[in-house]
Structure 1
Amino acid sequence: MITVENLTKRYGAQRAVDDVSFTCEPGTVTGFLGPNGAGKSTTMRMICGLTPPTSGSATVSGVPYRRLGNPGRHVGVLLDASAQHAGRTGRETLALAAMTMGLDTARVPERLARVGLNATAGKRRVRAYSLGMRQRLGLAYAMLGDPAVLILDEPANGLDPEGIFWMRGLLREFADRGGTVLLSSHLLREVEAVADRLVMIGGGRILTQGDKDVLLGAGGTVVRPEDPAAFDALLRRLELTGSRSADGTVLVQSEPAPIARAAAATGVVLLEVRPAGAGGLEEMFLRLTGTTDPTEVTR
């Protein structure tokens, strides 16, 4: 289990992460999403003890990461696949990690094979690996100690479609056995396919979080008014409330027809009226963050 409580990180006057709280339960995959500069990587680095928070706390299985004894046996971390020692072979990389964790190095060939790296690949220097191969090696490293928790930042980078499908199955199997996964990825459709819960961050703050099916199945109507003030007045007359998003749309808990009829009767111009949730995770991401390019979710 991962617990993040009121986590904040300031760099001078700038708040990179601002009062962020969420939990990742055993048996679930949590998709951690946000546009560039949203604070995702900083949050994950604080969870892993690499960046000290200004305030707040983060624990893994009830303990701060830095206080975990032999942390690789409790939590597997993949934050940067390119950080591996380029001069070692894949097999040497895992063997050294196994010795550090007090594990039998005899498990190394099986762990390489589990992530799709055969004996030949295991003997190659990491400098000769493609990005996709480094990602696979990084996953093998993260899972080497049979941890209960995985924290993964963009693990699908460099993988081909078959590799992405394989990774989805690997993470789903891990969670279904009771593991906890925190997954950051710019591949929104893959996150939608594998995640049980979603945490979306923007400007260092939580924009929304909850069960994926609940968030994507939320009812209501998305409206884009030409004159926001006039539309707010209309909502007050209808005794409805609206939640404004970064892209200028308003989510109203009502069916589309009554809103459209009332707007037409009062001369309020609506540029867009549609049911909420119709576009899946990508639509929700764009609406909440105001990002025009859904691939801009990597940091």
Structure 2
Amino acid sequence: MITADHLTKRYGPHAAVDDVSFRCEPGTVTGFLGPNGAGKSTTMRMLCGLTRPTSGAAAVAGRPYRELPNPGREVGVLLDASAQHVGRSGRETLTLAARTMGVDAGRVAAVLDRVGLNPVAAKRRVGAYSLGMRQRLGLALALLGEPRVLVLDEPANGLDPEGIFWMRGLLRDFADRGGTVLLSSHLLREVEAVADRLVVIGGGRVVAQGGKDELLAGAGTLVRARDPHALRLTLDRAGLDATGSADGGCVVRAEPDAVGQAAADAGLVLTELRPAGGGGLEQLFLTLTAGASTKEAVK
């Protein structure tokens, strides 16, 4: 299990992470989503003991990461695939990690095979690896100690479509065997395909969390009108929270009947009115984090 309990990280007056709390249960994949600069990586670094929180606490398997006697046997971490010694081969990298964790050296070959690095690739120096190969090696390091928990930040970055499909199956199998996965990714369709739960962060704060199906079902209402400007004014006057969608409509955090009534009272002609959940995770993400990335990027 992974727990974040009121995690806050401040850099001077700026709160990179502000009172973030969530839990990741065994047997589940939790998608950790947010725009660039929203605080995802800082939160994951606090979970893994690399950044000290200003306040709050985090635990993996019931203990702070720094208190785990042999962390690699409890939690597999992949935060930066480039953070590997470029002068060593893939096999040497895993062999040294196995010795550090007290893992049988025979497991190195099994893990290399599991992540799709063949003997030729295993002998090659990491400096000659493509980004996708480094991601596979990083995942091999995370799996080497047979942990019960995986914390992964953008693990599919650099993988081709076949590799992304392979990783989806690997993570789903890990969770189905009772493991716990916290997955941060900008590939929203892949997260939607594999995740059981979602935690969405924007501007350093959790803006939504819960079961994937539950959140997608409550994504709001998509509305379009012949006069988009008049529609926005009408929604503002009615006190309905609305954001522009990527295709010219509005996503409103209200039920369709409330949106339709406001439009009817204003004499607007609507061309579309339906629950926004049909847009999937991408639409939900845009609705929940509208404006957060811009605000965060300039701080």
- Asked if these proteins are the same fold (TM beyond 0.5), I'd say yes
Distance apart, 1:250 and its partner CA: 2.4
1:231-242 aligned at under 5 Å gives the runs 231-232=238-239
Distance (Å, rounded) in 2 between the aligned partners of 1:2 and 1:143: 17
- The one-letter code matched in structure 2 to 1:231 is A
Distance apart, 1:289 and its partner CA: 1.1
Distance (Å, rounded) in 2 between the aligned partners of 1:202 and 1:270: 31
**Alignment root-mean-square deviation, CA:** 2.3
Distance apart, 1:25 and its partner CA: 0.3
Work out whether 1:281 is the aligned partner of 2:262. no
Distance apart, 1:219 and its partner CA: 7.0
- The answer to whether the 8 Å contact 2:256/2:275 transfers is no
Q: What is the match of residue 226 of structure 1?
A: 232
Work out whether 1:251 is the aligned partner of 2:253. yes
Distance apart, 1:246 and its partner CA: 8.7
Q: Percent identity?
A: 70
Q: Structure 1: which 5+ residue stretches go unaligned?
A: 233-241, 294-299
SS at match of 2:88: coil
- The one-letter code matched in structure 2 to 1:230 is R
- The answer to whether the 8 Å contact 2:115/2:140 transfers is yes
- The answer to whether the 8 Å contact 1:24/1:180 transfers is yes
- The answer to whether the 8 Å contact 1:115/1:140 transfers is yes
* 1:90-142 Cα distance to aligned partner (Å, 9 max, x none): 00000000000011111111110110001111111000111100000000000
Distance (Å, rounded) in 2 between the aligned partners of 1:41 and 1:90: 25
Distance (Å, rounded) in 1 between the aligned partners of 2:219 and 2:73: 42
Distance (Å, rounded) in 2 between the aligned partners of 1:220 and 1:202: 18
1:71-220 aligned at under 5 Å gives the runs 71-218=71-218
The 1:85–1:223 alpha-carbon spacing in structure 2 relative to 1, beyond 3 Å, is: same
Distance (Å, rounded) in 2 between the aligned partners of 1:47 and 1:270: 47
The 1:11–1:20 alpha-carbon spacing in structure 2 relative to 1, beyond 3 Å, is: same
The 1:267–1:9 alpha-carbon spacing in structure 2 relative to 1, beyond 3 Å, is: same
Distance (Å, rounded) in 1 between the aligned partners of 2:51 and 2:271: 44
Number of residue equivalences: 283
Distance (Å, rounded) in 2 between the aligned partners of 1:251 and 1:223: 11
Distance (Å, rounded) in 2 between the aligned partners of 1:220 and 1:35: 20
Distance (Å, rounded) in 2 between the aligned partners of 1:199 and 1:38: 12
Q: Structure 2: which 5+ residue stretches go unaligned?
A: 225-230, 294-299
The 1:13–1:259 alpha-carbon spacing in structure 2 relative to 1, beyond 3 Å, is: closer
- The answer to whether the 8 Å contact 2:3/2:22 transfers is yes
Q: What is the match of residue 260 of structure 2?
A: 260
Distance (Å, rounded) in 1 between the aligned partners of 2:244 and 2:219: 19
Q: What is the match of residue 297 of structure 1?
A: none
- The answer to whether the 8 Å contact 2:152/2:183 transfers is yes
Q: Which stretch of structure 1 is more off in the superposition, 259-268 or 180-189?
A: 259-268
SS at match of 1:134: helix
Q: Which stretch of structure 1 is more off in the superposition, 246-255 or 153-162?
A: 246-255
- The one-letter code matched in structure 2 to 1:158 is G
Distance (Å, rounded) in 2 between the aligned partners of 1:160 and 1:8: 36
TM-score calculated relative to the size of structure 1: 0.89
- The one-letter code matched in structure 1 to 2:185 is S
The 1:60–1:6 alpha-carbon spacing in structure 2 relative to 1, beyond 3 Å, is: same
